[in-house]
Amino acid sequence: MGAHWTYIAAAYGVAVVVIAGLVIHAVVDWRRQRVALNALEARGAPRRPR
Amino acid sequence: MASAPASSFSASLTGLANPTRFMDLSGRVLPWLVALTAVLLLFGLWLAFFVAPADYQQGDTARIMFIHVPSAWLSLLLYTMMAVSALGTLVWRHPLADVAQKAAAPLGAAFAFLCLVTGSLWGKPMWGAFWVWDARLTSMLVLFLMYCGILALWRTIEEPGRAARAVAILTLVGVVNIPIIKFSVDWWNTLHQPAGVLKLSGSAVDPSILWPLLEMAVAFTLLALTLHLVGMRTEILRRRVRTLTILAAERAEREAA
């Protein structure tokens, strides 16, 4: 049964990598959009021509 | 008198349809969700490794089920949610429907991938093979490929409105796979075991393993909900950035003319 722990460790390792990837991507993407929006708003939000 | 609660429910739905109101509300809920998800995930891992006993047939390998089963459930749940959002886009034209759909696709793909990989890592010691072309495994692989197709389609069409309609149609076509996945173990003679956790006749899983499994399912669901809310908020910001960038370019063009 000892060898089975290799499969268990691999499964949980993949889960940690996938979930960490999702979390890091979510935070980085949010920050990137927030920074871009702040930069655009700092320049003065343009209005649609009437 | 009976119409009062119904009208207040409909008013709250209409209120949530406003992206600004959604951003405000989700911003207040998110910190609590993050904390609750982290606590439940850690508690679930403790239950999975230190409280749940080894299975009498599968031994410790059964512990892979604590991540495999919630991942499988979530990949189906997220696709079903995407199908409802697709209807919201095409029929009701809800302003947040395609935002919800776009934010759910990468999560569904990740959980479908996790389900396939963990199932494979369980299959090798239990079945003697990482993969068999069994109806359940194959239909699950089709779901993962559907998610990949939807993600690719989102990236192919630049205009969000057009992309949302195309993705909504593809999502609704693919929804036929959901009952196939669910009932594949009943309709065909598969190597994958039939449903054992949630059955009308009562669960086939011993409570000592069932409760940690359900706890992990709740933790994974909260994780998906948290990431989905963050994804929706990011998508709303991305669209604001896009609109402002286009308006800035138009203004620069007018000033140059």
Residue with tokens 């109806």: B135
Q: pTM above the 0.80 mark?
A: yes
In this prediction, the answer to ipTM > 0.90 reads no
pLDDT band for position B2 (cuts 50, 70, 90): very low
- Which residue from B36, B181, B213, B115 is spatially nearest to A18, judged by alpha carbons? B115
Burial class (CB in 10 A: 0-12, 13-18, 19+), B188: middle
Q: What residue numbers bound the domain in which A16 lies?
A: 12-39
Asked if B150 and B170 touch (Cβ cutoff 8 Å), the reply is yes
DSSP letters, A13-49, are: HHHHHHHHHHHHHHHHHHHHHHHHHHHHHHT------
Residue A3 belongs to some domain of the structure: no
| Cβ(B59)–Cβ(B147) below 8 Å | no
- Of A4, A26, A40, nearest to B230 by CB-CB distance is A26
Contact B84, B61 (CB under 8 A): no
CA of A18: which chain B residue's CA is closest?
B110
* A36 vs B contacts (CB less than 8 Å): 237, 241
Between residues B256 and B70, the one the model is more confident about: B70
State whether residue B155 sits within 8 Å of chain A by CB: no
- A31 lies in a domain? yes
Residue A6 counted as domain residue: no
Distance separating the N- and C-terminal Cα atoms of chain B? 61
Collapsed DSSP state (helix, strand, coil) of residue B84: helix
Instruction: Write out residues 1-50 of A within 8 Å (CB-CB) of B.
Output: 1, 3-5, 7-8, 10-12, 14-15, 18-19, 21-23, 25-27, 29-30, 33-34, 36-37, 40-41, 43, 45-49
Cβ contacts of B247 on chain A, cutoff 8 Å? 45-48
- What gap in Å lies between CA A44 and CA B123, rounded to an integer? 58
Q: Is residue A20 part of a domain?
A: yes
Q: Count the domains in chain A.
A: 1
Q: What is the pLDDT of residue B137?
A: 94
Asked if residue A33 is part of any domain, the answer here is: yes
**What element of type H or E holds B217?**
helix B207-256
**pLDDT tens per residue, range A1-25:** 556 899 999 999 999 999 999 999 9
Q: Is residue A18 part of a domain?
A: yes
B215 neighbors B136 (Cβ within 8 angstroms): no
Q: Is residue A47 domain-resident?
A: no
CA distance B234 to chain A (A): 5
Position B45 scores a pLDDT of 95
Q: Which of B42, B240, B246 to mutate to test binding with chain A, by most A CBs within 10 Å of its CB?
A: B240
Q: How confident is the model at residue B7 (pLDDT cuts 50, 70, 90)?
A: low
Task: Say if residues B162 and B190 touch (Cβ distance below 8 Å).
Answer: no
